[in-house]
């Protein structure tokens, strides 16, 4: 057994079907008397249901959360939060809403309860990515990790099949990088492999029947495991690529992760044989990169950055930013190889690995 350090941050998780009914008690458990709700417009109906169950604890809402947590949006939400005299935050939605909650928690120190409705995983991490003037920066700080997370399987039933697929692949990407993270401990490696297995098994079932409750439960369970891995390990090339591409070209978050993942894995696979064996086992395939690529395509989701709105002449800019502040990576980053990788994912070429 290799030496390791296992640092487990305190976090409360409530998981099940219909757990939104526990929201009032979970909010009260955090000592929140005036809760400020955060979401995108798509979750206004869910907020209305939540508000009805705890009207006396409802301070206000902000339903304009945006991808990549723009600083300007956080500024606007902060002004409304202060005007509402709120003493706690409740975010309902995917990475946009939860990211905004984390940004506000950083600025105010208020307790934050997250209710995820996708598989993105931001709720289980101390990581905050923020965008300003076309540049996305990330940071780690325990204060931004939500104090409690309420997973309600029923809230994922309305997530469209294609969005379920790319959101699930986004979650898988967290665990894939955890498989070769230098600071992964044995428990994280088990969680990463199990999380990938759970999502890889459930996502095809969701593609056939979005109302499959058992598959939805397995997928949300897998997403929780993958998100926990992201929160407790350092990220590498895949996440660097996605942070640069998303922040610079305003590409959709989950779709970008899904498109990049097969290519980032193919780049690193030769340098991480133990992780490769685990991924082959979790995906039940000898060609993980192709399997991940085909999974994205099976949902009808774009596999090419050009179809997500990235201009081809942006490749040089992306390479420049990747090397401006590179993340640690098991395989050395080579400019020509990274450019070739970006050209492949821009064009949507199927990897050979």
Rounded CA-CA distance 4/184 in Å is 8
Rounded CA-CA distance 146/98 in Å is 9
Q: Is there a contact between 163 and 170 (Cβ–Cβ < 8 Å)?
A: no
Same domain for 145 and 173? no
Q: Tell me what percent of the chain is helix, strand and coil, each rounded to the nearest 5.
A: 60, 10, 30
The verdict on residue 7 lying in a domain is no
Same domain for 97 and 19? yes
The verdict on residue 143 lying in a domain is yes
CATH number of the domain that residue 326 is part of: 1.20.1090.10
Query: Number of folded domains in the chain?
Result: 2
> How wide is the angle at C-alpha 295 spanned by C-alphas 294 and 298, nearest 5°?
85
- Asked if pLDDT for residue 312 goes beyond 90, the answer is yes
pLDDT tens profile 81-114: 999 999 999 999 999 999 999 999 999 999 999 9
- The structure's pTM equals 0.92
- CA end-to-end distance (rounded Å), the chain: 29
Q: What's residue 153's pLDDT?
A: 98
> What is the span of the domain harbouring residue 236?
161-347
Q: What's residue 11's pLDDT?
A: 78
CATH number of the domain that residue 73 is part of: 3.40.50.1970
Q: What's residue 1's pLDDT?
A: 63
Q: Is there a contact between 351 and 263 (Cβ–Cβ < 8 Å)?
A: yes
- Asked if pLDDT for residue 165 goes beyond 70, the answer is yes
Q: What's residue 3's pLDDT?
A: 76
- Asked if pLDDT for residue 136 goes beyond 90, the answer is no
- Asked if pLDDT for residue 10 goes beyond 70, the answer is no
Same domain for 221 and 111? no
The verdict on residue 24 lying in a domain is yes
Rounded CA-CA distance 329/177 in Å is 10
Average pLDDT, the chain: 95
Q: Kindly state the average pLDDT of the residues 62-66.
A: 96
Rounded CA-CA distance 74/107 in Å is 10
Nearest to residue 183, comparing CAs of 325, 330, 322, 288?
330
């Amino acid at each position: 057994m290799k030496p390791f350090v296992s640092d487990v941050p305190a976090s409360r998780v409530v998981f099940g079907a219909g757990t939104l009914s526990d929201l009032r008690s979970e909010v009260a458990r955090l000592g929140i008397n005036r809760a400020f709700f955060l979401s995108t417009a798509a979750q206004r109906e869910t907020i209305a249901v939540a508000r009805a169950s705890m009207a006396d604890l409802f301070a206000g809402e902000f339903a304009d959360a945006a991808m990549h947590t723009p600083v300007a949006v956080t500024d606007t939400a902060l002004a409304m939060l202060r005007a509402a005299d709120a003493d706690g935050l409740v975010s309902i939605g995917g990475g946009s809403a939860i990211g905004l909650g984390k940004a506000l928690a950083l600025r105010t120190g208020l307790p934050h309860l997250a209710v995820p409705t996708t598989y993105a995983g931001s709720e289980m991490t101390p990581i905050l990515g923020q965008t300003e003037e076309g540049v996305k920066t990330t940071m780690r700080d325990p204060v931004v990790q939500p104090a409690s997370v309420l997973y309600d399987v029923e809230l994922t039933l309305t997530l469209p099949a294609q969005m379920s697929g790319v959101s699930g692949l986004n979650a898988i990407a967290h665990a894939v990088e955890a498989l070769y993270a230098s600071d992964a401990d044995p428990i994280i490696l088990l969680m990463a492999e199990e999380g990938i297995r759970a999502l890889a098994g459930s996502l095809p079932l969701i593609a056939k029947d979005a109302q499959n409750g058992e598959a939805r439960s397995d997928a949300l369970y897998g997403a929780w495991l993958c998100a926990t891995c992201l929160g407790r390990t350092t990220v590498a090339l895949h996440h660097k690529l996605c942070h640069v591409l998303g922040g610079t070209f305003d590409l959709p978050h989950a779709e970008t992760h899904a498109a990049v993942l097969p290519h980032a894995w193919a780049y690193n696979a030769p340098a991480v044989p133990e992780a490769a064996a685990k991924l082959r086992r979790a995906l039940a395939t000898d060609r993980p990169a192709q399997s991940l690529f085909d999974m994205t395509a099976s949902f009808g989701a774009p596999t090419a950055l050009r179809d997500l709105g990235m201009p081809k002449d942006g490749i040089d800019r992306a390479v420049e930013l990747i090397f401006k502040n590179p993340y640690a990576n098991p395989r050395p980053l080579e400019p020509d190889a990274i450019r070739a990788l970006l050209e492949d994912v821009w064009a949507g070429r199927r990897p050979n690995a």
